[in-house]
Structure 1
Amino acid sequence: MEKLEPAAKNPSWMPGVALGACAIRAHLESRAFDTKTLISSLLEKIRQHEPVTQAWEWLDEAQAISSARDRDTQYAASLARPLEGIPFGIKDIIETQGVPTRMGSPLFADYVPEESAPVIRALEDAGAIILGKTVTTEFATQCPGKTRNPWNQAYSPGGSSSGSAAAVAAGFVPAALGTQTRGSTIRPAAFCGVVGYKPTLGAISTSGIFPTSVTLDHVGIFARSVEDISLISSVCVPDSNALAPAPGKPPILAFVKSPYWSRAEPPQRRCIEAALQSFTAAGAQVKHVELPPAFDGALNAINQIQRFELFQLHGNRLEDWRPALSRQFLDYMESGRRITVPQYREALAYRDKLIGMYDDIISPFSAVVTPPANGEAPEGLTTTGDATFCVIWTLCGAPAISLPAGRGPHGLPLGIQLVGHRHYDGSLLQTALWCEAVLQRSQCIY
């Protein structure tokens, strides 16, 4: 397989050297370039680097160019649409009309939906161009796909939204959709050095998306900046007025190690600590907050809920599917069979208790600061990494965002995670915008 040059020796390939959604929008409005030129440029980058990155499950170049030509013909009449001409990658568990949606499994190799998920329709109504479908792990769970980390092909991009994170990091698209049931947006965003956003549970409809947990499934967004995330969220989330970040005063931040701090590798710990020092120097108030012991059971609860619901959703198809399933996914499904209804109900009640406690804990603060992952991306493609640092916040349904915050000893990205108040996503984006500006002035190798 072709070996990439180190980023420092090949700056044209270095992840991060690409325009974001807002910048593209401005260039299209000023006619600095047209949509066909934009799409052609992206397709050329994909041709050069997709054989190594392997972010795409489906990509139709001819259709993409045709869509771009149509946009250029009608552009003057469609300037009011907020995402006009912006290309997107879509995680391949999200149904898209007329486009193969394969769920990361040969079982769905020939499945072509007749209707798009509501979130896809919202993007297209706003003018977005669906460039292609991005690789997912098998049924958005544990078994990794073919995608590699754009920073170094020997490392994982994270998962389960592997292709979406990698496609944005590689500059193939300025934005992509993913999902998160545990850590499938926040973690790959951190591993690939892009911004990953998981809104409050239910803020974006999961209708038309392969379900793994009716209690925990979220839609996620990958982009190059918080400003880009805000633009996209204004389309995807019905309450758009609450999602426009504006310059604000320095935030009040709660630094939460969580019960899993021992899993954080030293470079990740130093990255978080350096970010907090930078925030304090820039005027933020930072307080170290210890979670009550009740939160220690979050990992067990999310395991019980996710596995039980996955089996309830798809267990009746298990025997028909069995020959095509990986051993890893099969074992995961079978574990859900062994969880009893009383155990499941107990886990749901525990979750409700944590949500109330979380709302009380965060009430004096703008956001929680905590790791998005235990460190740099893991080497190899046998795992997508440890999602433990996302568990509490996903279980509580709180909005969360991962911001690039530096590089680790292997030259791979490190990030920080900000977690906000449930149903106040706009406030979290305001805080993230402030933190992003500080981080961009202070990133370094940890």
Structure 2
Amino acid sequence: MDEAWRLTAAAARAAIGAGRLTPEALAEACLARIAERDPLVRAFVAHEPQAVRAAARRTDPAAPLGGIPVGVKDVLDTADLPTGYGSPIYAGFRPRADAAAVAWTRAAGGVVMGKTVTTEFAVRAPGPTRNPLNLAHTPGGSSSGSAAAVADGMVPLAFGTQTAGSVIRPAAYCGIVGYKPSYGTISRAGMKVMSDSLDTIGVMARSVADCALFAGVVSGRDLGDPDRAPGRPPRIGLCRSPTWPAALPETQALWGDVTAALNRAGGAVVERELPTSFAALVDAHPAIMVAETARALGWELTTQAPLLSAGLKERHLPALAWPPERLDEARKVAQGCNLAFGPALEGLDVLVTPSAPGEAPEGIGWTGDPAFNFLWTTLRVPCVTVPAGLGPRGLPLGIQIVGRRGDDAAVLAWARWVQAALA
């Protein structure tokens, strides 16, 4: 298969199982794609083709991820590749061990293709990655390289992480599927954690089923088969959310199209907004994120400050002087909203809400606004973005499916239903 790089993980697994494809051939196809495209897209920060070939030869084709290439965001430790966390402070750093998520990927037969570009510590200065669909635009962040690599066929699967919108937004900007699981679903051992209350490991792929497969394998959970037709249509709440004023014209137009499509497909669709108390998360989320990150960067701020970006220092150094009560109050707001979220979904299976304000912004100096993501990250609930058409510049738009914490298998299944309804 000369163009095996185009296959989803599920399709590649089927081809390998049927003897039509080998792990070595799939790895070579993806290596060739990286060699052709990465000089332009710059999705990878570390990539060793000979190590990839050796891993593909060793893998068990019958394993759950047997032979499937995987991109690893460069905030997750890897024992055989440099781990730089998007910062010059860690140039050439090689951890002794893999992060747990990477270790379970390898144990399941996944082939690590390399480390993908992240913004600085997944919170600040963007890297060099470009949107493969239009190189003049950002792929989003902070999981920039992972989103770009999956969208451009360099890998069928990749890890991302999300503290505000760093899985869902770049996946939407690049026209792929992104899945941020319920908080804590995928172990963060071996991840450079910045905000302990918020940081969540997620996955990106070109299908909902691939996300369920990948996240299920590395978390040890059964996330079901989203491609299996449900026995009934979903009960959907259309939720503009408190940040609706951030929606650009293309998202406002998309909202009407999505509403019509879900109704045509037979969904039980109603308008559902969150209680007004949830608007307090607009201030609570950044307070938690900035304060926790400032403390997490203790060694870097106190011993390596000249190597930190000016933007990171300007945003986080002042938080060290905040009174403890400021963070305590923000956490109380988050806790209260977490407790209230289940009742707010009464009678519904999921909420449908925008994935991003609009198309990917032009330029790579800014990775976009997480206005439609941070709310759900703070609530620690599962979110899936699926492609939902194109904006005025021909770049992808996404729509986000959100459900109750721990209800990940159902959210993935309903996300696939929504995607089919929008097709």
TM-score by length of 1: 0.92
The alignment status of 1:31 with 2:19, answered yes or no, reads yes
Structure-1 residue corresponding to 2:41: 53
Aligned pair partner of 1:62 in 27, 40, 50: 50
1:306 aligned residue: 289
Counterpart of 1:107 (choices 89, 111, 119) is 89
Q: Which residues of structure 2 form unaligned runs of 5+? A: none
CA distance in 2, matches of 1:314, 1:423: 30
* Aligned residue identity for 2:29: S
Structure 2 match to 1:148: 130
Return the offset for 1:28: 0.8
Q: Which amino acid aligns with 2:125?
A: C
CA shift digits 1:407-435 (9 cap, x unpaired): 11111000001101111101101101211
CA distance in 2, matches of 1:236, 1:339: 38
Residue 312 (structure 1) shift = 1.5
Output the CA distance in 2 between the equivalents of 1:277 and 1:339.
Answer: 47
Tell me the amino acid that sits aligned with residue 351 of structure 2: V
Q: CA deviation at 1:336?
A: 2.1
Percent identity at matched positions? 38
Q: Is 1:319 aligned to 2:322, yes or no? A: no
TM-score by length of 2: 0.96
Distance 1:28 1:212 in 2: 39
Amino acid at match of 1:324: L
Q: Partner of 1:413 in structure 2?
A: 396
User: 8 Å contact 1:136–1:162 — kept in the other structure?
Assistant: yes
The one of 140, 152, 156 equivalent to 1:170 is: 152
Match of 2:195 in 1: 213
Is the 1:142–1:384 Cα contact (8 Å) retained in structure 2? Answer: no
CA distances 1:6-47 after superposition (whole Å, capped 9, x unpaired): xxxxxx99xx98211000101111111211111111111111
Q: Secondary structure at the match of 2:32?
A: helix
Contact 2:5 2:29 in 1 (8 A): no
Contact 2:5-2:30 within 8 A present in 1 as well: no
Question: How far apart, in 1, do the equivalents of 2:299 and 2:44 lie?
Answer: 30
4+ residue segments displaced more than 4 Å: none
**Aligned amino acid, residue 340 of structure 2:** M
Preserved CA contact (<8 Å) 1:199 1:400? yes
Q: Distance in 2 between matches of 1:381 and 1:131?
A: 24
Q: Secondary structure at the match of 1:275?
A: helix
Residue of 160, 163, 170 corresponding to 1:188? 170
Greater mean alpha carbon deviation, residues 117-126 or residues 171-180: 117-126
Distance in 2 between residues matched to 1:68 and 1:405, nearest whole Å:
34
Matched, 1:279 2:274: no
For 2:297, what is the secondary structure of its paired residue?
helix
**In 2, Cα distance between equivalents of 1:298 and 1:60:** 42
Q: Which moved more, 1:171-180 or 1:16-25?
A: 16-25
**Partner secondary structure for residue 302 of structure 1:** helix
Structure 1, unmatched stretches of 5+, are 1-11, 441-446
Distance of 2:76 and 2:399 partners within structure 1: 27
Aligned length: 420
Among 344, 348, 352, the alignment partner of 1:361 is 344
Q: Which residue of 2 aligns with 1:443?
A: none
Q: 1:420 to 1:213 in 2, by over 3 A?
A: same
Once the two structures are TM-superposed, the CA of residue 320 in structure 1 deviates from its matched residue by 1.6
- Deviation, 1:114, is 0.7
Between the aligned partners of 2:206 and 2:87, the Cα distance in structure 1 is 29
Distance between the aligned counterparts of 2:296 and 2:211, measured in 1? 31
Inter-partner Cα distance in structure 2 for 1:336 and 1:359: 32
| Root-mean-square deviation over aligned CA pairs | 1.6
Q: C-alpha separation between the residues in 2 aligned to 1:49 and 1:86? A: 19
Which one of 336, 340, 357 corresponds to residue 319 of structure 2? 336
Deviates more, 1:356-365 or 1:121-130: 356-365
